[in-house]
A and B are shown apart, each in its own frame.
Chain A
Amino acid sequence: DIQMTQSPSTLSASVGDRVTITCRASQSISRWLAWYQQKPGKAPRLLIYKASTLESEVPSRFSGSGSGTEFTLTISSLHPDDFASYYCQQYNSYSPYTFGQGTNLEIK
């Protein structure tokens, strides 16, 4: 299995801050990485696919970068609505698809 490791597990920040979440793969996954946002009691929402392509209707303050084994999700200026959990997921290999353990972005 390809292991996905996110850091940090918890991130405390304030409205307006710029924040970055890192996701590392245990082997190269090229650019086949997605990012999801999940709010309590809700389903995950796709934010970014192919490492840096913004899904339709996702605000431009979200951006993704990286390739190979190291990837980042950046929120340029936090809005109140952005406080949630974030997950990366590799889809280079379906045997199996794997997710990071999640990053909980909380209000400082």
Chain B
Amino acid sequence: GQNIDQPTEMTATEGAIVQINCTYQTSGFNGLFWYQQHAGEAPTFLSYNVLDGLEEKGRFSSFLSRSKGYSYLLLKELQMKDSASYLCAVRDSTDSWGKLQFGAGTQVVVTP
């Protein structure tokens, strides 16, 4: 099984940078996903890491260290529309199809 931990809530100012950390313990690892979920809406895919290092996609970047069981999502140049919950999810490799295990999510509040 997996334990996935991420902070419950973070607050930041518009235009600033916020880093959301995710730590995990897993019996098998086959990739880590970050999803964004606005209130009352479905989660939408942001990023995927399977190898160590940084993946950059516009204002969002995601980092993975497999040896440390650690990832972070970096949100730069924050905008009001970035206020949402950010979900860290780990894919289990113990079966060929790799079920996703989700963390509880980090609520990011962007203030003017």
Chain A partners chain B: no
- A interface residues, Cβ below 8 angstroms from B: none
Chain B interfacial positions (CB closer than 8 Å to A): none
